[in-house]
Amino acid sequence: MGQRRAHIARAVEPSVGRLQVASSSAISLVQIDMVKHIVFWRLKEYAHGNDKTTNARVIKQKLEQLNGKIPGLLALEVGIDFSATESSSDIVLYSEFTNREALAAYQAHPEHQAVMPFVGEAREERRMVDYEA
């Protein structure tokens, strides 16, 4: 490796999945691969003794508490639908992972597994998409 490479500083910006490469002459952003995991749920009208609005809030809280607890999980947010149309889902999970292995580790992680029975009982339908970006 030449001297030029020795002078390059690298910093990862995990929230946007980019690698910032700085040299003495310029700074450039280079896209690195990450995995996005998106899940849509339609909820049952009633489950766990709650209506679906209450269960949506509980699911949001339980899932968002996973932030910072699972290695490789870069970002996770849950949105609750306000349009309530015939074609909309009730809640959506948007999450980003460093790679496919991190997604697999998330799915098997005990903190994630602890949330799944509540979600499973409350859901009527589940759709998901995993892709690399």
* CATH number of the domain where residue 106 is located: 3.30.70.100
* Domain of 14, in residue numbers: 1-32
- For the chain, the average pLDDT equals 85
Q: Which carries the bigger pLDDT value, residue 132 or residue 25?
A: 132
How much of the chain, in percent, has pLDDT values that exceed 90?
75
- Please check whether residues 78 and 45 belong to one and the same domain: yes
Question: Which pLDDT value is given to residue 30?
Answer: 57
Query: Do 115 and 68 belong together in one domain?
Result: yes
d(CA 93, CA 49): 23
User: What is the predicted pLDDT for the residue at 12?
Assistant: 41
17 and 59 together in one domain: no
Mean pLDDT along residues 63-80: 98
Q: What is the mean pLDDT of residues 19-48?
A: 76
Give the CA distances from residue 116 to residues 12, 31, 112, 123, in Å, rounded to whole numbers and listed in that order. Answer: 31, 32, 7, 10
Q: Are residues 23 and 85 in the same domain?
A: no
Claim to verify: residue 24 and residue 81 sit in the same structural domain: no
User: What pLDDT is attached to residue 5?
Assistant: 34
Count of domains observed in the chain: 2
What is the structure's pLDDT at 14?
45
* 51 and 43 Cβ atoms separated by less than 8 Å: no
